[in-house]
């Protein structure tokens, strides 16, 4: 336990300690600096800083409201109603979860850019509009795109609350003549308040730390949020302003720590809403009557616009040398040249191997560490086990850009030869996403009876042998689900990678970001199609081999 505790404490605290030191130092991580308060003074006297703060909170609140609303509706329809095609819609929610944000940004740029977006062109032609009605590169566009693609996270948190809810109170209300919508508003939704509130806080944290969409859609138009301003200070300015970046990063870290503390308080006080007791219960399916076809149509339309239309546009774009306005003439310019160019691109090939190695091996290491931490925290009776779990869960408060900058300081200062290598990315990914893996694995550990360890102990087996020979084999489904989640997360991570990638450790998400910023639209579309097909292939194989159920992701 001591070894595990020291390891997770080192992973969580060491880089943040150096970030704190760096925020009060002059110079860069490569230099010996002096103590100063000037970084914070410069950060909060920066022109436009208060506009950035406002943008950050508006974006976080907007995407939270949209995602929680959509996630709650989907959760209720899929788990509690007799809507046709619920299993298909549940699978499409997983596909939506797989969609990397960089792909979503590019797809919706092709659909909602003011002058050449397909939807704008169609609406202008149909209604005779002189000006395009939508602009994806705006605060409203940023919130819209982000809301769509974090909706699955809201679904994962809220759906279990609906699925396990005792419906006896709903049935009693129905016997008094109450209609379905009244029951939903007066009984069902209030009982799901803990799940909805925890989803809201967690998504608000995600909104505060989100980098991909604000940087790709907002920053080119001067709409900065905290993470994009941190990246601008470190990765765009010349010379890089590390003092400004570290001061902003510490401020963002304090905000997310406070919100994660609120999230933990909300999840601990959920006993006030308990409806599932020791007696038998069941979550009855709500018969919507003819309205079930309306909900089915609504779900079909939602997934058409979030999954099929964006992916279809990416496929079309991958066969175009340059994406212009949508016209019939573009079909005369179709070409397969982008795919051979990708294969011949040495940096992309290296990036694919690096990303796959990090996702497969790094994900496995992260899950194994999570399993050990979970075993110590849940199954052992050792004093201090709660502290080990607390250290392991701490990085959930670290925004990706903040942790990336912290690791930049930490591993340049310490003379270990991992800066600029794939290993520093593995350390970053494992540190940042260990809490997610731990939450997924913990569900399987909690369900496992202590009889197994007791029987092993009676035969003289130590904890190591018990863990390796009994616990790990019995936890195979939960471990497989956690690894699959880590694979999907590692292969598309951008916020930390963009600060830590050098010439020798390129990853796929950063190469695709470079394609986006340099205007290589055909290559980006082709890379997006290949990435999505690769992720889908791994997910389908893993689900078939390990019999992973979608609900196993819910504990994350």
**CA dist 323 to 176, 333, 496, 547, Å?**
59, 10, 29, 41
Q: What is the structure's pLDDT at 444?
A: 62
Q: What is the structure's pLDDT at 273?
A: 45
User: C-alpha 293: how far from its chain's center?
Assistant: 32
381 and 481 share one domain: yes
Tokens standing for residue 448: 């496992």
Q: Where are the alpha helices (DSSP H) in 447-520?
A: 451-458, 463-466, 472-474, 476-492, 497-500, 508-518
525 occurs within a structural domain = yes
Name all contacts of 539-544 with Cβ < 8 Å and 24+ positions apart: 539/94, 539/98, 539/484, 539/488, 542/480, 542/483, 542/484, 542/487, 543/484
Beta bridge partners, 35, equal: 25
400 and 443 share one domain: yes
Q: How far apart are CA 212 and CA 513, in angstroms?
A: 9
Q: How many domains does the chain divide into?
A: 2
Cβ atoms of 149 and 66 closer than 8 Å: no
40 occurs within a structural domain = no
Q: How far apart are CA 53 and CA 55, in angstroms?
A: 5
Closest Cα partner for 528 from 511, 512, 514?
A: 512
Which H, E and C letters describe 185-247, residue by residue?
A: HHHHHHHCHHHHHHHHHHHHHHHHHCCHHHHHHHHHHCCCCHHHHHHHHHHHCCCCCHHHHHH
Q: What is the structure's pLDDT at 151?
A: 93
160 and 204 share one domain: yes
Q: Give the HSE-up count for residue 259: Cα atoms under 13 Å, Cβ half-sphere.
A: 26
Domain containing residue 92: CATH number: 1.10.3720.10
Biggest alpha carbon distance in the chain? 81
Closest Cα partner for 285 from 133, 201, 124, 162?
A: 162
327 and 402 share one domain: no
Last residue of a domain, one of 280, 300, 335: 335
497 and 484 share one domain: yes
Q: How far apart are CA 516 and CA 19, in angstroms?
A: 30
390 and 528 share one domain: yes
38 occurs within a structural domain = no
Whose tokens are 């110590």? That residue is: 376
Cβ atoms of 310 and 103 closer than 8 Å: yes
7 occurs within a structural domain = yes
Q: How far apart are CA 459 and CA 447, in angstroms?
A: 23
Closest Cα partner for 212 from 379, 373, 399?
A: 399
Residue range(s) defining the domain that contains residue 417:
1-22+339-556
Closest Cα partner for 527 from 345, 331, 310?
A: 345
Q: Is the peptide bond before 487 cis (omega within 30 degrees of 0)?
A: no
Cβ atoms of 375 and 456 closer than 8 Å: no
Last residue of a domain, one of 335, 356, 389: 335
Q: How far apart are CA 430 and CA 373, in angstroms?
A: 13
Tokens standing for residue 334: 């179709």
What is the number of other CB atoms lying within 10 angstroms of the CB of residue 44?
14
295 and 419 share one domain: no
Q: How far apart are CA 505 and CA 503, in angstroms?
A: 6
3-state class (DSSP) for residue 330? helix
216 and 330 share one domain: yes
58 and 152 share one domain: yes
252 and 286 share one domain: yes
350 occurs within a structural domain = yes
Last residue of a domain, one of 285, 310, 335: 335
229 occurs within a structural domain = yes
Task: Give the pTM.
Answer: 0.84
329 and 345 share one domain: no
Each residue's pLDDT expressed in tens, for the chain with a length of 556 residues:
678 888 888 888 888 888 888 888 877 766 667 888 888 888 888 788 889 999 999 999 999 999 999 999 998 899 888 899 988 998 898 888 888 888 899 999 989 988 888 898 889 888 888 888 999 999 999 999 999 999 998 888 888 778 777 677 777 877 877 777 787 778 778 888 877 887 888 889 889 889 999 999 999 899 999 899 888 888 787 777 888 888 888 888 888 888 877 766 765 654 444 444 444 455 678 788 888 999 999 999 999 999 999 999 999 988 987 777 777 777 778 888 888 888 887 788 889 899 999 999 999 999 889 888 887 777 667 777 778 877 888 887 788 888 888 888 888 766 677 777 899 999 999 999 988 888 777 766 665 555 556 566 666 666 666 666 666 666 777 778 788 888 888 988 888 898 888 777 889 999 999 888 888 888 889 989 988 888 888 878 877 776 665 555 544 4
Q: What is the structure's pLDDT at 70?
A: 95
Q: Where are the alpha helices (DSSP H) in 269-334?
A: 291-303, 309-318
Identify the H or E element spanning 70.
Answer: helix 49-80
> Which residues have CB under 8 Å from 126's CB, separation 6+?
none
35 occurs within a structural domain = no
Helix, strand, coil proportions of the chain in percent (round to 5)?
75, 0, 25
438 and 519 share one domain: yes
27 occurs within a structural domain = no
């Amino acid at each position: 336990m001591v070894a595990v505790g020291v390891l997770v404490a080192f992973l969580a605290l060491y880089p943040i300690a150096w970030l704190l030191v760096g925020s009060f130092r002059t110079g860069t991580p490569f230099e010996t600096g002096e103590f100063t308060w000037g970084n914070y003074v410069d950060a909060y006297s920066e022109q436009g800083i208060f506009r950035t703060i406002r943008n950050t909170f508006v974006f976080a609140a907007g995407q939270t409201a949209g995602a929680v609303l959509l996630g709650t509706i989907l959760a209720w329809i899929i788990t509690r109603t007799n809507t046709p095609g619920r299993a298909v819609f549940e699978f499409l929610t997983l596909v939506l979860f797989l969609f990397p944000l960089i792909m979503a940004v590019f797809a919706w740029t092709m659909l909602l850019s003011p002058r050449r977006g397909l939807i704008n062109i169609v609406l202008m032609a149909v209604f005779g509009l002189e000006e395009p009605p939508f602009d994806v590169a705006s605060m409203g566009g940023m919130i819209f795109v982000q809301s769509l693609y974090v909706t699955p996270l809201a679904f994962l948190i809220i759906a279990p609350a609906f699925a396990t809810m005792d419906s006896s109170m709903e049935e009693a209300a129905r016997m008094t003549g109450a209609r379905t919508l009244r029951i939903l508003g007066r009984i069902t939704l209030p009982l799901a308040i803990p799940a909805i509130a925890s989803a809201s806080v967690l998504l608000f944290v995600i909104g505060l730390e989100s980098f991909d969409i604000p940087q790709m859609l907002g920053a080119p138009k001067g709409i900065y949020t905290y993470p994009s301003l941190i990246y601008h200070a470190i990765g765009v300015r010349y010379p890089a302003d590390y003092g400004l970046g570290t001061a902003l990063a510490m401020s963002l870290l304090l905000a997310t720590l406070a919100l994660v503390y609120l999230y933990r308080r909300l999840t601990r006080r959920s006993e006030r809403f308990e409806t599932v007791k020791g007696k038998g219960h069941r979550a009855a399916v709500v018969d919507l009557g003819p309205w079930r076809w309306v909900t089915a149509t609504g779900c079909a339309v939602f997934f058409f616009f979030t999954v099929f239309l964006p992916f279809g546009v990416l496929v079309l774009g991958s066969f175009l040398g340059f994406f212009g306005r949508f016209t019939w003439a573009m079909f005369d310019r179709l070409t397969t040249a982008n795919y051979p160019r990708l294969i011949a691109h040495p940096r992309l090939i290296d990036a694919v191997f690096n990303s796959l190695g990090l996702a497969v091996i790094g994900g496995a290491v992260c899950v194994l560490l999570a399993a050990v931490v979970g075993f110590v925290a849940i199954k052992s009776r050792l004093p201090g086990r709660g502290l080990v779990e607390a250290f392991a869960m701490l990085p959930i408060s670290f925004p990706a850009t903040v942790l990336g900058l912290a690791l930049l300081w930490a591993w340049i200062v310490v003379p270990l030869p991992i800066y600029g290598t794939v290993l520093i990315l593995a350390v970053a990914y494992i540190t940042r996403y260990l809490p997610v893996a731990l939450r997924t694995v913990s569900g399987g550990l909690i369900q496992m009876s202590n009889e197994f360890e007791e029987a092993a102990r009676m035969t003289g087996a130590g904890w190591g042998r018990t863990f390796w020979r009994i616990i790990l084999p019995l936890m195979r489904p939960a471990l497989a689900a956690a690894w699959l989640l880590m694979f999907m997360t590692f292969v598309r991570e951008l916020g930390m990678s963009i600060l830590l990638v050098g010439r020798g450790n390129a990853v796929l998400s950063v190469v695709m970001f470079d394609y986006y910023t340099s205007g290589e639209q055909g290559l980006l579309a082709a890379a997006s199609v290949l990435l999505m097909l690769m992720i889908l292939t791994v997910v389908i194989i893993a689900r078939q081999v390990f019999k992973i159920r979608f609900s196993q992701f819910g504990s994350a």
